């Protein structure tokens, strides 16, 4: 009888800390051994000349999301997680989004039902859009204790944003209950005012999305929410940081010793605002928020990634259709940029784009790559070391990767249900050969092999990364309501 269920032989194993050529032995869904010439496996994969990474962890994914003006998107949990697996991602965290006027629990129950179709493992962020007393006092505490350990809120959009008082209440609740908070930071008031002024002036073309959402209002919102988090001593992640000025606010907070983390996405490393200045049929493919900035911002973001100021690269996968009646093109033809659905699909292309633009072009090393796409998101969101690394006892989630393979990205070759990719025609260097989830091959040489429903929910308990510092800027703990330090 074989000693292992699976052996991956002869590859170069890369984690956030190490690069070692060895075999990997898998038993009972977990990594069981590393070594040279391990004993036999019921199945063996020849990884000679290839890299072996931990499976990607994508901590920012929208799937079947309720409450969007343009509908829930075209991907289902089955198609989205199949696409993720084909791109080397083996765990996702998506959003159980509260619809204003409804309870958070209604959304959570609905998302758990939908997510049972998943091919890979998954968890949820609780998106709070209506911070009522019932939500704060009754629903969120219990949902957090049940294993939904992260909250998300918006500082922008009419349907989603919280006012400043609600933001403070959610931050206080997160500290009291031990939840991690992630934020979409753009000023609602400034965006709405700029949008109205642009439209009143007759400037509705898609290219003006960048004018309605300049980095100034992203920077201001980041500075404001960091100040609130500092006041309440709450760790915080800023989602989809788009450029140098926004990242600089995070770096300033980190230098003060605050537990503030930053995330960016491939679209902020390859596109610019100039991509919006095209005929509407093309321009709508590049509408997302915050918008893309400049080439100089690209280089600044790479520097922040190397230094760890930004320590996660997610996809922010948003599967709005291009050509449907509720899709991006139809939206743009109503009132231009103001009614164009925001977001782009990117689950399957996240790892190839970052590897190609980062590792293959010498901007980051292999360990940094693994940190950004797997280890750091797993640590920040309470999944490590079960996910995000290859270690004895960790889940046997891994990717066999060809670092030299060149692929021209085309939507016809991707596995999502979206009718376009903004990366159409781009050639990348580096592509997955095999993806393994808990010891099971779910993708191999272009074939999606994962079974519907094999994915599991990932409940998360308390963990060190989100532990408060224990220091307030005033001699008063506003969460507990008591004087401190005196």
Q: Do strands 260-264 and 56-61 pair parallel, antiparallel, or not at all (unpaired)? A: unpaired
> Are 306 and 344 a contacting pair, CB within 8 Å?
no
| pLDDT above 60 for 70 | no
| pLDDT above 70 for 71 | no
pLDDT digits (tens, 9 = 90+) for 456-468: 999 999 999 999 9
CB count in 10 Å sphere of residue 164: 11
> Are 145 and 482 a contacting pair, CB within 8 Å?
no
d(CA 372, CA 364): 10
Going by the DSSP 8-state scheme, the letter that residue 358 receives in this structure is I
Average pLDDT for 398-402: 98
Q: Which residue(s) pair with 153 in the sheet?
A: 183
Retrieve residue 157's tokens: 């959009």
> Are 318 and 345 a contacting pair, CB within 8 Å?
yes
d(CA 79, CA 117): 9
In the chain, the domains with their CATH numbers are 1-486 (3.20.20.140)
Going by the DSSP 8-state scheme, the letter that residue 201 receives in this structure is T
Instruction: Indicate if the alpha-carbon torsion angle 276, 278, 283, 286 is positive or negative.
Output: negative
The fraction of the chain above a pLDDT of 70, given in percent, is 99
Retrieve residue 375's tokens: 């280890």
Q: Band the pLDDT of 100: cuts 50, 70, 90.
A: confident
d(CA 227, CA 319): 33
Retrieve residue 399's tokens: 């990717």
Mean pLDDT, rounded, of the chain? 96
d(CA 26, CA 39): 11
* H or E stretch covering 420: none
> Are 76 and 455 a contacting pair, CB within 8 Å?
no
Asked, as a colleague might, if the bond just before 13 is cis with ω within 30 of 0, I would say: no
d(CA 295, CA 345): 22
DSSP string, 67-113: T-TT-S-S--HHHHHHHHHHTTEEEEEEEEEPPTTS-HHHHHHHHHH
pLDDT digits (tens, 9 = 90+) for 179-197: 999 999 999 999 999 999 9
DSSP string, 427-484: EEEEEEEEEEETTEEEEETTEE-PPTT---B------GGG---S--SSSEETTTTEE-
d(CA 222, CA 177): 23
Alpha carbon of residue 87 to chain centroid: 14
Amino acid 423: pLDDT = 98
Q: Band the pLDDT of 302: cuts 50, 70, 90.
A: very high
DSSP string, 121-163: EEEEEEE-S---HHIIIIIHHHHHHTT--EEEEESS-TTTBPP
Q: Band the pLDDT of 65: cuts 50, 70, 90.
A: confident
> Are 184 and 225 a contacting pair, CB within 8 Å?
no
pLDDT digits (tens, 9 = 90+) for 249-284: 999 999 999 999 999 999 999 999 999 999 999 999
pLDDT digits (tens, 9 = 90+) for 405-453: 999 999 999 999 999 999 999 999 999 999 999 999 999 999 999 999 9
Residue 392, φ and ψ in degrees, nearest 5: -60, 125
Amino acid 262: pLDDT = 98
Amino acid 101: pLDDT = 84
């Amino acid at each position: 009888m074989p000693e292992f269920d699976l052996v991956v032989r002869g590859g170069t194993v890369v984690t956030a800390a190490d690069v070692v050529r060895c075999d990997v032995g898998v038993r009972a869904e977990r990594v069981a051994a590393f070594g040279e010439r391990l004993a036999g496996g019921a199945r063996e994969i020849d990884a000679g000349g290839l890299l072996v990474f931990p499976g990607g962890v994508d901590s920012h994914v929208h799937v079947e999301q309720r409450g969007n003006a343009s509908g829930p998107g075209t991907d289902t949990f089955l198609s989205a997680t199949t696409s993720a697996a084909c791109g080397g991602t083996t765990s996702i965290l998506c959003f159980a989004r509260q619809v204003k006027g409804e309870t958070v629990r209604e959304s959570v129950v609905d998302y758990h039902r939908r997510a049972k179709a998943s091919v890979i493992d998954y968890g949820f962020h609780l998106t709070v859009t209506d911070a009522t007393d019932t939500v704060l006092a009754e629903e969120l505490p219990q949902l957090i204790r049940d294993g939904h350990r992260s909250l998300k809120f918006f500082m922008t959009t009419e349907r989603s944003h919280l006012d400043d008082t609600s933001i403070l209440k959610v931050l206080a609740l997160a500290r009291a209950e031990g939840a991690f908070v992630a934020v979409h930071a753009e000023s609602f008031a400034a965006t709405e005012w700029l949008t109205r002024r642009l439209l009143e002036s007759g400037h509705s073309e898609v290219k003006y999305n960048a004018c309605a959402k300049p980095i100034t209002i992203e920077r201001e919102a980041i500075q404001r929410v960091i100040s609130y988090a500092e006041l309440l001593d709450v760790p915080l992640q800023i989602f989809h940081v788009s450029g140098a000025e926004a990242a600089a606010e995070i770096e300033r907070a980190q230098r003060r010793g605050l537990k503030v983390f930053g995330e960016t996405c491939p679209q902020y490393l390859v596109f610019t605002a100039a991509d919006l200045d095209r005929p509407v049929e093309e321009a709508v493919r590049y509408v997302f928020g915050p918008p893309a900035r400049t080439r100089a911002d690209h280089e600044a973001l790479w520097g922040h990634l190397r230094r760890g100021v930004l320590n996660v690269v997610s996809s922010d996968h948003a599967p709005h259709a291009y050509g449907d009646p509720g899709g991006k093109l139809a939206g743009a033809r109503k009132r231009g940029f103001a009614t164009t659905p925001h977001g782009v699909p990117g689950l399957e292309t996240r790892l190839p784009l970052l590897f190609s633009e980062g590792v293959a072009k010498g901007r980051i090393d292999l360990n940094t790559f693994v940190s950004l796409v797997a280890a750091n998101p797993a640590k920040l969101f309470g999944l490590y070391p079960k996910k995000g690394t290859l270690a004895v006892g960790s889940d046997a989630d891994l990717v066999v990767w060809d670092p030299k393979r060149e692929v021209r990205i085309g939507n016809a070759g991707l596995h999502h249900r979206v009718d376009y990719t903004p990366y159409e025609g781009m050639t990348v260097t580096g592509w997955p050969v095999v993806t393994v989830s808990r010891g099971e091959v779910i993708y191999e040489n272009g074939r999606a092999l994962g079974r519907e429903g094999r994915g599991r929910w990932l409940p998360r308990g308390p963990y060190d990364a989100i532990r408060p510092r224990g220091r307030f800027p005033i001699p008063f703990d506003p969460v507990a309501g008591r004087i401190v330090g005196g």
